[in-house]
Amino acid sequence: MSINSIIFFDLVITIFILALALIIVLILLLKSIRKSHLYEIENINSKSNNSSLLDEARNKAVRITDQANNKALDIIQKANLFVNVKNDDFNKELKSVTQKELKAFEKTTLDFIKVYENVLNDLKTRNVEIFQNISNNIETSTLGEIKKFNSVIEQETISSQKMLAKKIDDEYSLAKKDIDAYRQDRLRIVDERIFEILEKVSKLVLGKAISPSDQEALIIDSLEKAKKEAIFDSAK
């Protein structure tokens, strides 16, 4: 805490003590006035038979009361004046202290801002460095991982290509076999159909076209061929 603030609080406490003392004095004064007033009333009462005296006493009391009131008012006015003066002083002091404190606060704030900026700049610089390092590390690590990944992918791709090629070859062989079998089957069916058709056509065409004499000639011709092929050799 600065010296100005200590003085400020000292002044406030002094003013408070003075005001308290003034109030106590006023209270004591009012009490004494009242006591004297009562005493006078008693004296007046003791002379009750004497109305003039009473009136005089009454007048006197009134005067004393007025005087007391006037005094009290004077004291109050003085006290008020003192309080006002002190308030003005206090306000001035307060203003002065406030301004000083504001200046000090501004200065402190500026210092703090500077320090904060410095720290912030340091942090920023360090963070940038850290980020750069991190970035470099990440770059290095990532490049390494990418290389590994590429290598794995390459190997997997080659392996997959080989497997695929083998599978395609196998499938091709199977498909070729199936196709060959299917082709053979279809050819067989076609052949069967061809002969079936041929038989029918031959029956229709040759069966009617070959005359009985030609048929006989064909039979004799068959016998001739059989003879040439030694079918009848065992007969001789």
Structure-token pair, residue 226: 């059989």
Distance CA 30, CA 22 (A): 12
| Residue 211 C-beta: closest distance to other proteins, Å | 10
Q: Using CB under 8 A, which of 55, 74, 139, 214 touches other proteins? A: 214
Indicate left, alpha or beta for 230 from its phi (over 0: left) and psi (-120 to 50: alpha): left
Tell me how many residues contact other proteins (CB under 8 A).
30
Residue 195 corresponds to which amino acid?
F
Does 56 participate in binding other proteins (rule CB under 8 A)?
no
x/- map, 157-196, other proteins, by CB under 8 A: ------------------------------x---x--xx-
Q: Using CB under 8 A, which of 27, 48, 52, 236 touches other proteins? A: 236
Q: Which is nearer to other proteins, 149 or 195 (CB)?
A: 195
Residue 188 corresponds to which amino acid?
R
Q: Which are the contacts of 60, defined by CB distance < 8 A and separation ≥ 6?
A: 40
Stretch that binds other proteins, among 63-71, 90-98, 130-138, 226-234 (CB under 8 A): 226-234
Q: Which residue has the tokens 């009136």?
A: 55
| Residue 236 C-beta: closest distance to other proteins, Å | 7
Q: Which are the contacts of 53, defined by CB distance < 8 A and separation ≥ 6?
A: 44, 47
| Residue 171 C-beta: closest distance to other proteins, Å | 29
Structure-token pair, residue 46: 């003791």
| Residue 235 C-beta: closest distance to other proteins, Å | 5
Does 23 participate in binding other proteins (rule CB under 8 A)?
no
Distance CA 40, CA 65 (A): 11
Distance CA 12, CA 82 (A): 14
Q: Which is nearer to other proteins, 24 or 179 (CB)?
A: 179
Q: Quick check: 33 and 65 in contact, CB under 8 A? A: yes
Interface with other proteins (CB under 8 A): 187, 191, 194-195, 198-199, 202-203, 206-207, 210, 212, 214-216, 218-223, 225-227, 229, 231-232, 234-236
